[in-house]
Amino acid sequence: MNASSLPSASSASSAFSREFDFTERDFERIRNAIRHYAGISLNVSKKDMVYGRLVKRIRSLGLGGFAVYLDLLESPAGRSELELFVNALTTNLTYFFREEHHFPLLAEHLKARAAAGATELRIWCSAASTGEEPYSIAITALEAVSGMARAPRIEVVASDLDTQVLKTAAEGVYAADVLAKLPPGLSARYFDRLPDGRGKAKAALRERLRFCRINLIESPVSWGLKSGFDAIFCRNVMIYFDRATQLEVLNKFAPLLRPDGLLFVGHSENFHQANPRFRLRGKTVYSLEPAAGSAPR
């Protein structure tokens, strides 16, 4: 989910003819379910969009309507459908080097860590979507340490809530016009051209990434991540959480970062005065506040 973002409702969407009844109670049950399972606060303006997304699941399952579908979701037999339900209600807007001002900052940070003798550089992309963001991160890291006599090992953990987009990301195959938007030289350096014109991430790039499903509102114990990340990217995700959920997620991130680690968020997200554990370092970039009694960085 890059993010776990929900698009604006189309002004024309209310005009379509509905195949199934879709009551206010149905919509409230959906809002409660997506908040419970994914932390997403679904605005009332999204009702038509929700209908359009979920009606496909109802048809696919051969069910009689939304009430029956929601009964299934809430039953033990519907556990496998929950993942598809969440996938249906999240969309994934992303492209290579999106919000490009972040990547020079990341490169500078990683170079400093490598120069200080780091043997490993670890970054977590918590909203991997179809892969453009974590591959951009990995490319930035590789470029940052290129030419070093003892270049540190690079690991990018790429997670998302949506299992379908994670499959696409793990394949690392992109259309030619998508790769054409990469900075000059990077497409040929990091992607092999396939017979159909698409490009596939080279093994040397793919080997730096580890893909996994993570739900940010679940306990960090379930994430299976060790601490010590040099950077965490969580961009354009938390705007869909309410304030309490945002603060909970930020509190979960803090122990996973190195003391000098960086948190990158989206251009419309601002936590400057929301969480005392983080301080603003630059445009939508945060670092941890020094612990009491520690020397300033």
Question: At residue 268, what are phi and psi to the nearest 5 degrees?
Answer: -105, 10
Task: Report the distance separating Cα 197 and Cα 125, nearest Å.
Answer: 28
Radius of gyration of the chain (CA): 21
Give the strand order in the sheet containing 199-201.
Answer: 173-174, 199-201, 191-193
Question: At residue 211, what are phi and psi to the nearest 5 degrees?
Answer: -100, 140
Is residue 121 within 8 Å of residue 114, measured between CB atoms? Answer: yes
Is residue 91 within 8 Å of residue 83, measured between CB atoms? Answer: no
**Residues acting as catalytic residues:** 53, 160
Per-residue CA distances from 35 to 28, 32, 227, 289 (Å): 11, 5, 27, 30
Beta strands in 75-203 (DSSP E): 120-125, 153-160, 173-174, 191-193, 199-201
